[in-house]
Amino acid sequence: MSEDNAREIVLSLEVDDPALADRLATLLGSVAGLRLAAPGETATASVVARDPRIMPDDIALTQRELDVLALMAEGASNKMIARQLNISVHTVKFHVGSLLDKLDATGRTDAVAHAARRGVIEL
Amino acid sequence: MSEDNAREIVLSLEVDDPALADRLATLLGSVAGLRLAAPGETATASVVARDPRIMPDDIALTQRELDVLALMAEGASNKMIARQLNISVHTVKFHVGSLLDKLDATGRTDAVAHAARRGVIEL
DNA sequence: TGCGAAACTGGCCGGGTGGCCAGTCCTCCC
DNA sequence: GGGAGGACTGGCCACCCGGCCAGTTTCGCA
């Protein structure tokens, strides 16, 4: 051992809470023999939040938003979602818009990732 | 500071590998503002092993595709990925295309969902 | 030495996406 | 009655996405 086994440990922070993540990054960043992972890098181990309380009040998504979100996670386009839910594409866009807003996401892919991370949906 | 916000962070080690757990315990045990959890104690966050098990090796993504995939999962657009990786948008599209093909996905959102399901990436 | 794989780049284009504006219904609640 | 919020719909438009065509270099391997 003491060879590749004793290499620098790469830790990835997978904590949603920005404050906690920041503190951890500060604390862990200065530990010798330990390094924080770059985005996309495969880490030796991960630091994950210990309580499912990541959402204040579930962020309160409406039932319709949940419907749209589930179909988004299946890779459905707005048109497909509209057909599936028997509503217009405009309405789908409307719900997607609220979703992006509530989940603080930049796009539908980001929204699905965020939702999965906080357990709103299961992949 | 010294608010309840700045309370000591309690970390629990949930790593199977005894050698890795031991090294982590040593490294993390001496960090100020951070404490390892006592058995049974509720921790602020956990350190979990990030085992390098990829997948049934049937899909075999290249390193570059993995890079692109990771950034896609962060919600990055093709333009952002291009900037991040210092390549052209066209090249990003090229890799995204291969990704959609290999992961049997209909779009980038679907690709990220598929990859997460198969454990290729971690959300 | 040739040949494939990977990575990279370009142009073009139809269709999708997301943001903006507007509006109508409905229900719950003060 | 009036307000607030949810669900729904429309038009418009800049931009993005994914697929098509084409090409380049570099690398390892037979």
pLDDT tens per residue, range A17-38: 778 788 888 888 888 888 887 7
Separation between Cα atoms, residue A68 and residue A84, nearest integer Å = 10
pLDDT of residue B82: 96
pLDDT of residue B32: 85
Query: Given an 8 Å threshold on Cβ–Cβ distance, is A33 in contact with B43?
Result: no
Q: A34 pairs with which residues across the strands? A: A9
The residue with tokens 């608010």 is B3
pLDDT of residue B4: 47
Q: Is the CB of A71 under 7 A from strand D?
A: no
Give just the sign of the alpha carbon dihedral B38, B41, B45, B50: positive
E strand or H helix at B14: strand B9-14
What is the average per-residue pLDDT within A77-96?
96
Query: Given an 8 Å threshold on Cβ–Cβ distance, is B73 in contact with A45?
Result: no
Q: What is the pTM of this model?
A: 0.70
Residue A105 — very low, low, confident or very high, per pLDDT cuts 50/70/90?
very high
pLDDT of residue A87: 96
- For chain A, how far is it from start to end, CA to CA, in angstroms? 38
Closest residue to D19 (CA, C1′): B97
Three-state secondary-structure class, residue A2: coil
Is residue A40 over pLDDT 50? yes
Is residue A102 over pLDDT 90? yes
Separation between Cα atoms, residue B26 and residue A55, nearest integer Å = 33
Is residue A51 over pLDDT 80? no
Instruction: Please give the residue of chain B at the shortest CA–CA distance from A4.
Output: B20
Tens-digit pLDDT string for chain B (123 aa):
444 455 788 887 777 777 878 888 888 888 888 888 877 676 777 787 765 444 455 578 999 999 999 999 999 999 999 999 999 999 999 999 999 999 999 999 999 999 999 888 988
Q: Average per-residue pLDDT in chain A?
A: 83
All residues at 6 or more sequence positions from A66 whose CB lies less than 8 Å from its CB, including other chains = A120
Highest averaged pLDDT of the listed ranges A50-54, A90-94, B54-58 = A90-94
Chain A residues within an 8 Å CB radius of B8: none
* pLDDT-above-70 percentage for chain A: 82
pLDDT of residue B57: 52
The residue with tokens 């104690």 is B41
Instruction: Please give the residue of chain A at the shortest CA–CA distance from B121.
Output: A40
pLDDT of residue A33: 83
Do A72 and A103 form a contact (C-beta atoms < 8 A)? no
Nearest Cα of chain A lies from the Cα of B24 at a distance, in angstroms, of: 8
Residue A92 — very low, low, confident or very high, per pLDDT cuts 50/70/90?
very high
- Residue A12 φ/ψ, nearest 5 degrees: -110, 135
Query: Given an 8 Å threshold on Cβ–Cβ distance, is B112 in contact with A117?
Result: no
Three-state secondary-structure class, residue B13: strand
Do A69 and A111 form a contact (C-beta atoms < 8 A)? yes
Nearest one of A47, A54, A32 to B37, comparing CA atoms: A47
The one-character DSSP state at B44 is S
Count of C-beta atoms within a 10 Å radius of residue A76: 22
Chains A, B: CB contacts under 8 A, how many? 123
Nearest one of A31, A34, A40, A39 to A11, comparing CA atoms: A34
Rg for chain B (alpha carbons), in Å? 19
